[in-house]
Amino acid sequence: MTSILAGIEGWCGDWGMAVIILTIIIRLLIMPLMTHSTRSSARMQALQPKLQEIQDRYADDPQRASEELQRIYSENKFNPLGGCLPILLQMPIFFALFTVAQNVPGDANFYNILPSISISVSTALSQMGWVGGGWVYILFDIAFGVLTFVPMVMNMQNLPEEQRSTNMVMGVVMSILMLWFGWNVPVAVLLYYDASAVWQVAQQKFVTQRVMDEVKAEQAKKDAEMPVAVSVTRRQKKARPHKKSK
């Protein structure tokens, strides 16, 4: 990762821009997986009524419920863990970039915007003060928190009404945690996540929603074409007691 970042910096002449270009390259590489993850999430939402019906019907029989859920997954070629793969792939990149950012030259900057991308927001404030340039670092940290929250809000329109309030609270808490986290990491990491989040917002607006609408329409058409399976449980008739003859 250090060699790649240094090579990009040698081409563009700026460490901060090198981080942004590296972010774009990474997002392009994982874009097919993100699209697959989006289709998986859309299929999950489309199947949610069926899954909930199975869980309610077999609440007293967990084994049967599990079997029915697996049947639904198999029929619809759905993997519940499919949406986790892009996140798992980005984690090693994050840890690698975190280490690289701590080892970039002290004068590695982002043009004239950030004098150094190897220091944290807290360090920039202690060295430069608020007026001396520390406020720019704070803006990048605030952008980190806001850009964490925005994609979650955009995704809420695809969730059931009862889940939106819970996700809103989670989004606010997550954004506050990201603000606290971003306060003490090298700004190069904030640059990576800010650029990555901007990409994600654009992708979610112009690509993700279209893919989700297509998948939901496909699933609705498939459900309409499938015959309705009716489960009937016959009750045994109890023998009527015979009246005794007088």
Domain-embedded: residue 201:
yes
Residues 6+ positions from 159 with CB-CB distance below 8 Å: 45, 167
Mean pLDDT of 43-50: 70
Domain-embedded: residue 108:
yes
- Lowest average pLDDT, out of 14-18, 41-45, 167-171, 233-237, goes to 233-237
Domain count, the chain: 1
pLDDT in tens, 157-202: 666 666 677 777 888 888 888 889 889 888 888 888 888 888 888 8
Mean pLDDT of 35-47: 70
Confidence band of 238 (pLDDT split at 50, 70, 90): low
Confidence band of 73 (pLDDT split at 50, 70, 90): confident
Domain-embedded: residue 239:
no
Domain-embedded: residue 240:
no
**Is it the case that residue 86 has pLDDT exceeding 70?**
no
pLDDT at 201: 81
pTM for this one? Answer: 0.70
Confidence band of 142 (pLDDT split at 50, 70, 90): very high
**Is it the case that residue 228 has pLDDT exceeding 50?**
no
Domain-embedded: residue 71:
yes
**Is it the case that residue 150 has pLDDT exceeding 70?**
yes
pLDDT at 19: 87
Mean pLDDT of 18-25: 88
- Lowest average pLDDT, out of 18-22, 44-48, 132-136, 201-205, goes to 44-48
pLDDT at 151: 77
Virtual torsion, Cα 125, 131, 133, 136, nearest 10 deg: 90
Q: Whole domain around residue 102: which residue ranges?
A: 2-214
**Mean pLDDT of all residues in the chain?**
76
